[in-house]
Amino acid sequence: MKAYLVGGGIGSLAAAAFMIRDGDVPGGSISILETAPVMGGSLDGAGDPAAGYSMRGGRMLTTDNYECTWDLFRSIPSLIHPGKSVQEETLEFNEKHKANSMARLVDCRRAKVPVTSMGFSMEDRIELLKLSKADEDKLAASRITDWLSPSFFETEFWYMWSTTFAFQPWHSAVEFKRYLLRFMLEFSRIETLAGVKRTIYNQYDSMVMPLQTWLAAQGVRMVADCKVTDLDHETVDGKFTVTGIHCLRQGKSERIAVNPGDLVFMQNGSMTDASSLGSMTSAPAKLTKVDSGGWTLWEKLAAGRPQFGNPSAFNSCIAQSYWESFTVTLKDHAFFDKMFQFSGNEPGTGGLVTFKDSNWMMSIVLAFQPHFPNQPTGVQVFWGYALFPDRMGDFVPKPMAECSGAEILRELCGHLRFDLETVEQANCIPCRMPYITSMFMPRVRSDRPLPVPAGSKNFAFISQFVEIPDDVVFTVEYSVRAAQTAVYQLLGIARKVPPVTPHAKSLETEFEAVVKAFK
């Protein structure tokens, strides 16, 4: 049996590992085909002090959830701590560096906003309760604004929750409800981000590299610069069966035969598709799926096959699914020192600092340093993002989308009231991501295929765009869970996928008590 994985994101890397560990598939029988020059997909991170570091995202994880992710990484050896797994080294790191944000929200006067209260009115509580209890079929393609009144979007809770998880008011009510339930434990500690766990370095170096190294040692073929353009398929025993893979490998067309008994897994859709980087002097180019072709294969396969989902529910409105992030490389300590004085947090203990009144809705995170293994002493790196890049800045009279890295730094220093000399030697690399919240777009259940769609013989989907009950998208966990689900099902592995932990039960009781008291 051979297995082919289309796409080299964490979903496919995880699937390969589960096939080897739990399905006894020899690594040499597995091939991963990835368009980009490196594996890891959205979990990227690279650079050096001269060119500047860049990562599209900075990730928060939890240990109270992420059941499949830790189930995977307990088997993957650390690259920096011999004899330990990635899970062990991450847990130990988080024991030493606990999150306790002291400047979660900052207002337009540069004052730290008191956040011990969520700012809810009784009406907000009742509406939240109704939403958290509503059936998903009833919520269907409704938006968060269909369930919660305008005042809710002015609460401290909304500023913290929406910027922690990147929700917009127009996003899917189902996804918002799932987040409320899945991350219930964060409800009472969202103001300090105490539940958030971090990796030692950025996630490319701390998750992708160890996993990729382990897979390579097992003999897995990881083929970069290889874009899959089409799948040949036929109906065998009344079932959809892939029989060939067409790809462009380093620009040359190839066909890989898929024989009876072989399996094909495909990453359908990507939140970082068509993303582009700017520089200190230029804004990122405005690319779309037409430039990248990243959604074409899923669109082709889903046409006329409702069981393969509906990509247009997710990729049809860039205005509602995009934002920008930026990575800043500093060559002196001035910015970090001033941030410590202002926030009271050492790097790596504060988490997101959100400028809640900023037009762009800008946040920054100063992670523990070094954030890259090749980062020399004296160089520091931080990451930030803004939810509304179409709006004019408060200190730069331009939408963020039009701004260079230098202009983004000017806007940031304006909110912090830092002199521009603080970032004199900084290199800020902006990153535009047109589909970054495409997973949160309003949708109905059938818009996402099951990991193994009905009527499939040898074909599965692994991505953020598959339907998995109760779990939440925009997480590493969702892709790893999709991988484990698809692999176990197609290979007939008896071991159970770790269930989603039902933290939500406690909230139901709490909310119900509040509502009863109100009556």
Ligand X SMILES: Cc1cc2nc3c(=O)[nH]c(=O)nc-3n(C[C@H](O)[C@H](O)[C@H](O)COP(=O)(O)OP(=O)(O)OC[C@H]3O[C@@H](n4cnc5c(N)ncnc54)[C@H](O)[C@@H]3O)c2cc1C
Residue in this structure with the two tokens 């495409």, named with its chain if needed:
438
Nearest Cα to 321, choosing from 465, 437, 169? Answer: 437
- Smallest distance, Å, CB 410 to ligand X? 22
32, β-bridge pairs? 5, 222
Q: Output Rg (C-alpha) for the chain, integer angstroms.
A: 23
Binding segment (CB under 6 A) for ligand X, from list 249-257, 339-347, 366-374, 472-480: 472-480
Binding segment (CB under 6 A) for ligand X, from list 51-59, 143-151, 169-177, 210-218: 51-59
Q: Report the C-alpha gap between 284 and 381 in whole angstroms.
A: 20
Q: Are 31 and 254 in contact (CB under 8 A)?
A: no
Tokens at 140, concatenated: 């269907």
For 255, half-sphere exposure in the C-beta direction (CA atoms, 13 angstrom radius) is 10
239, β-bridge pairs? 236
As a whole number of Å, the end-to-end CA separation of the chain is 63
Does residue 11 touch ligand X according to CB under 6 A?
yes
Across the beta sheet with 427-433, what order do the strands follow? 105-106, 352-355, 362-365, 380-386, 323-330, 427-433, 276-277
Query: Using the rule CB under 6 A, which residue among 9, 351, 384, 434 binds ligand X?
Result: 9
Q: Report the C-alpha gap between 368 and 371 in whole angstroms.
A: 6
466 in the Ramachandran plot: left (φ > 0), alpha (ψ -120 to 50) or beta? beta
Length reported for the chain: 519
Site string for ligand X, 449-468 (x = CB under 6 A): --------------xx----
Does residue 228 touch ligand X according to CB under 6 A?
yes
Q: Report the C-alpha gap between 59 and 397 in whole angstroms.
A: 30
Q: Is the dihedral of CA 46, 49, 54, 55 positive or negative?
A: positive
Does residue 31 touch ligand X according to CB under 6 A?
no
Does residue 427 touch ligand X according to CB under 6 A?
no
Enumerate residues 359-388 that contact ligand X by CB under 6 A.
Answer: none
CB-nearer residue toward ligand X: 99 or 476: 476
CB-nearer residue toward ligand X: 422 or 463: 463
Tokens at 161, concatenated: 């929750």
Does residue 422 touch ligand X according to CB under 6 A?
no
Does residue 311 touch ligand X according to CB under 6 A?
no
Q: Are 71 and 165 in contact (CB under 8 A)?
A: no
Binding segment (CB under 6 A) for ligand X, from list 58-66, 231-239, 329-337, 413-421: 58-66
Q: Report the C-alpha gap between 331 and 426 in whole angstroms.
A: 7
Query: Using the rule CB under 6 A, which residue among 1, 36, 444, 515 binds ligand X?
Result: 36
CB-nearer residue toward ligand X: 29 or 296: 296
Binding segment (CB under 6 A) for ligand X, from list 17-25, 393-401, 471-479, 487-495: 471-479
- Smallest distance, Å, CB 272 to ligand X? 5
Tokens at 60, concatenated: 């928060």
CB-nearer residue toward ligand X: 285 or 420: 285
- Smallest distance, Å, CB 208 to ligand X? 9
Q: Count of CB atoms within 10 A of residue 237's CB?
A: 6
Query: Using the rule CB under 6 A, which residue among 21, 31, 42, 240 binds ligand X?
Result: 42
Does residue 6 touch ligand X according to CB under 6 A?
yes
CB-nearer residue toward ligand X: 198 or 415: 198
Q: Are 260 and 77 in contact (CB under 8 A)?
A: no
Tokens at 245, concatenated: 């893979």
Does residue 94 touch ligand X according to CB under 6 A?
no
Does residue 34 touch ligand X according to CB under 6 A?
yes
Does residue 403 touch ligand X according to CB under 6 A?
no
Q: Is the dihedral of CA 272, 278, 284, 287 positive or negative?
A: negative
Does residue 476 touch ligand X according to CB under 6 A?
yes
Does residue 327 touch ligand X according to CB under 6 A?
no
Binding segment (CB under 6 A) for ligand X, from list 35-43, 170-178, 451-459, 498-506: 35-43
Does residue 351 touch ligand X according to CB under 6 A?
no
Q: Are 204 and 56 in contact (CB under 8 A)?
A: no
Q: Are 195 and 62 in contact (CB under 8 A)?
A: yes
Does residue 3 touch ligand X according to CB under 6 A?
no
Does residue 272 touch ligand X according to CB under 6 A?
yes
CB-nearer residue toward ligand X: 129 or 365: 365
CB-nearer residue toward ligand X: 42 or 458: 42
Query: Using the rule CB under 6 A, which residue among 54, 65, 310, 325 binds ligand X?
Result: 325
Residue in this structure with the two tokens 């496919």, named with its chain if needed:
12
CB-nearer residue toward ligand X: 148 or 245: 245
CB-nearer residue toward ligand X: 145 or 229: 229
Contacting residues toward ligand X, per CB under 6 A: 6-11, 33-36, 41-43, 56-57, 59-61, 227-228, 267, 270-272, 294, 297, 325, 436, 463-464, 474-477, 479
